[in-house]
Chain A
């Protein structure tokens, strides 16, 4: 169990994930998407989860909400063991935890009207009073910056990606959930729209008192909205720390590699560098011991033998590495 958190010790953990394992079969092969991940998110906190493609972060996000069934491990939400719930109990729990997906247009049923789509959670939650539903739908739509009168009767294909994402956010918030999981919510949007949606998410977090799990591959986007950030590689967490701290002084070599590879929009900044060692291994047969060892300049025999355990290296900063970096990297201008 993770103990340290960058948030004060009196803040309760709303979400606790213990040793979560997600695997799925492709033909005869097993893909080890998530291999024993543990973390906590305190009430009112945003945890950013960052990693490259194939690291398992989307599988993790879905498993936390039990949209895919975890192979083993436990998820504790608001004091309840989510993984043990079944049927109607699980469905009722879903009201309190919602998700925003990557492709906003694909997340909306093309045959239904926007008003019905945003009202759907209320219908499922058995809010039978029509007027009440309309009021709450209107409120949610106003909150995300849409005008219910001009938008409700139309269909998703009439709107742009950014507007559809607003609809998705409205739908996720209409039941006023406690936890919002965002899985790459801005990756498929235009650059100029991303900032709007990120600002919107921050506003919604403040307005509804949300706790957020924000999954993305873009470190700058994750840093902009997160309190703490977790870095994931090939199914395992490498490092968890406060957002500022992680980017200023990463301890895991993989995190340092990621940061060095980001091109900054500043011609005077040092050019983005990358490791010369090529491609990540496949999640079907991850390397023994530390999974990053095949591309790590600091790897040795111990890294091959022993799986590194996540432990607190500094207050509020946990890392799973046998040879973590100690010096803060030079600040990038």
Chain B
């Protein structure tokens, strides 16, 4: 295995809030190989969005970043503003959840793409325009020349997200961070956008960090999954292993709590009791212990460390042992 493209080592993000310090991301270590997709799964408050922001240092002003973020061997945390700016959009691109807010509403689509190309690749404007049309048709936008003159509000949600992806891909980044890219979209459009991302990823041999709360998306579209809870990675495994042989009770509970389209109606759902923790008042032991059906005395006292068993890491005193039965 070559050097990972992205290496996070004990990354932490601490926010100063009126109610006390909040560790939004706590000692997260991850590695991503070139061309592979890592899914980060978590609910709101798990820290997954803060983590993605930390990589490019797009953090709010009251945040403190600790740990190391290495991209292609280069340390990002100490990088000055100018080299960081050159990196953003060029080598590492981001697609956000809501395309309406990530696109500038007062500029035409064309201006926004062309601007990116001119700034990062220093293309002449005619060349940039031609490239923009190419990109828009690559992302499946019908009538791309006309789109250049349109404004974001004239497009539907799915089309806007395609534009956002086109902008993200315009400078051939080596890493794409997609933060809930399809949450705001309909399910049919979602499948199209995910197909598009997969296709482009293969074509450009691009690595992708796919952040979502939807386990269905993760199951079909990622090579490896990291599950986050209360700011920490609680389980990390290759996708198939995670779903078939999960060790963390949280992962098991999350999977069991999702209504399945292949289940019978009125099947009672195995809901997880309680609520996600208040991040400013975390309990001393495992953060999931208050809601965990396997919780023991040690779980409430002591925080379990993340243990690496071959490629499968998990943080639990009472992990689930037996792998699930293979499908017939």
| Closest beta carbon of chain A to B258's beta carbon, Å | 6
Contact B261 A272 (CB under 8 A): no
B190 at the interface (CB under 8 A from A): yes
Which B residues are in CB contact (< 8 Å) with A272?
191, 194, 216, 220
> How long is the Cα–Cα vector from A266 to B324 in the complex, in angstroms?
12
> How long is the Cα–Cα vector from A191 to B275 in the complex, in angstroms?
11
Which A residues are in CB contact (< 8 Å) with B263?
220, 223-224
Contact A223 B265 (CB under 8 A): yes
Choice from B156, B239, B262 contacting A267 with Cβ under 8 Å: B239
Contact A217 B257 (CB under 8 A): no
A261 at the interface (CB under 8 A from B): yes
Query: Most chain-A Cβ atoms within 10 A of its Cβ — which of B260, B264, B267, B270?
Result: B260
Q: If A202-B266, A278-B140, A278-B142 touch, does A261 touch B272 (CB 8 Å cutoff)?
A: no
Which B residues are in CB contact (< 8 Å) with A280?
156, 186
A324 at the interface (CB under 8 A from B): no
Choice from A53, A192, A331 contacting B271 with Cβ under 8 Å: A192
Chain A positions 89 through 117: 1 when the CB is less than 8 Å from some CB of chain B, otherwise 0? 00000000000000000000000000000
Contact A195 B271 (CB under 8 A): yes
Which B residues are in CB contact (< 8 Å) with A261?
187-188, 190-191
B15 at the interface (CB under 8 A from A): no
B100 at the interface (CB under 8 A from A): no
> How long is the Cα–Cα vector from A271 to B240 in the complex, in angstroms?
14
Contact B220 A269 (CB under 8 A): yes
Closest B-chain residue to A51, C-beta based? B186
B214 at the interface (CB under 8 A from A): yes
Contact B254 A191 (CB under 8 A): yes
> How long is the Cα–Cα vector from A10 to B188 in the complex, in angstroms?
38
Which A residues are in CB contact (< 8 Å) with B192?
274, 276, 278
Q: If A263-B214, A265-B243, A333-B327 touch, does A162 touch B265 (CB 8 Å cutoff)?
A: no
Contact B219 A269 (CB under 8 A): yes
Contact B254 A192 (CB under 8 A): yes
B158 at the interface (CB under 8 A from A): yes
Which B residues are in CB contact (< 8 Å) with A198?
259, 269, 271
- Give the contacts of A187-214 with B (CB-CB under 8 A): 190-196, 198-199, 202
Q: If A195-B270, A225-B266, A279-B189 touch, does A220 touch B260 (CB 8 Å cutoff)?
A: yes
A247 at the interface (CB under 8 A from B): yes
> How long is the Cα–Cα vector from A6 to B194 in the complex, in angstroms?
37
Query: Most chain-A Cβ atoms within 10 A of its Cβ — which of B159, B189, B214, B270?
Result: B189
A221 at the interface (CB under 8 A from B): yes
| Closest beta carbon of chain B to A41's beta carbon, Å | 15
> How long is the Cα–Cα vector from A83 to B272 in the complex, in angstroms?
42
> How long is the Cα–Cα vector from A227 to B254 in the complex, in angstroms?
25
Contact A264 B261 (CB under 8 A): yes
Contact B262 A332 (CB under 8 A): yes
Closest A-chain residue to B156, C-beta based? A279
Contact B186 A53 (CB under 8 A): yes
Inter-chain residue pair count (beta carbon < 8 A) = 152
Which B residues are in CB contact (< 8 Å) with A265?
215-216, 218-219, 243, 255, 258, 260
Query: Most chain-A Cβ atoms within 10 A of its Cβ — which of B44, B261, B267?
Result: B261
Contact B220 A52 (CB under 8 A): no
Q: If A244-B264, A247-B261, A264-B219 touch, does A195 touch B272 (CB 8 Å cutoff)?
A: yes
> How long is the Cα–Cα vector from A258 to B208 in the complex, in angstroms?
26
B43 at the interface (CB under 8 A from A): yes
Closest A-chain residue to B242, C-beta based? A267
Chain B positions 204 through 237: 1 when the CB is less than 8 Å from some CB of chain A, otherwise 0? 0000000001111111110000000000000000
Closest B-chain residue to A282, C-beta based? B156
> How long is the Cα–Cα vector from A191 to B250 in the complex, in angstroms?
12
> How long is the Cα–Cα vector from A267 to B260 in the complex, in angstroms?
14
A219 at the interface (CB under 8 A from B): yes
Closest B-chain residue to A219, C-beta based? B261
Contact A190 B191 (CB under 8 A): no
| Closest beta carbon of chain A to B268's beta carbon, Å | 6
Contact B272 A192 (CB under 8 A): yes
Contact B269 A199 (CB under 8 A): yes
Q: If A192-B43, A263-B219, A265-B243 touch, does A52 touch B188 (CB 8 Å cutoff)?
A: yes
| Closest beta carbon of chain A to B301's beta carbon, Å | 24
Contact A262 B258 (CB under 8 A): no
> How long is the Cα–Cα vector from A298 to B327 in the complex, in angstroms?
34
| Closest beta carbon of chain B to A249's beta carbon, Å | 14
Which A residues are in CB contact (< 8 Å) with B265?
223-227, 243-244
A11 at the interface (CB under 8 A from B): no
Which B residues are in CB contact (< 8 Å) with A276?
192
> How long is the Cα–Cα vector from A117 to B157 in the complex, in angstroms?
36
> How long is the Cα–Cα vector from A244 to B267 in the complex, in angstroms?
12
Interface pairs (13), CB distance under 8 Å = A53-B186, A190-B44, A195-B259, A195-B269, A217-B186, A220-B261, A227-B265, A261-B190, A262-B216, A263-B190, A265-B219, A267-B240, A279-B156
Residues of chain A at the chain B interface (Cβ within 8 Å): 52-53, 160, 162-163, 190-196, 198-199, 202, 217-221, 223-227, 243-244, 247, 257-269, 271-276, 278-280, 331-333
Closest 4 CB pairs of A and B: A274-B191, A263-B216, A195-B271, A195-B269
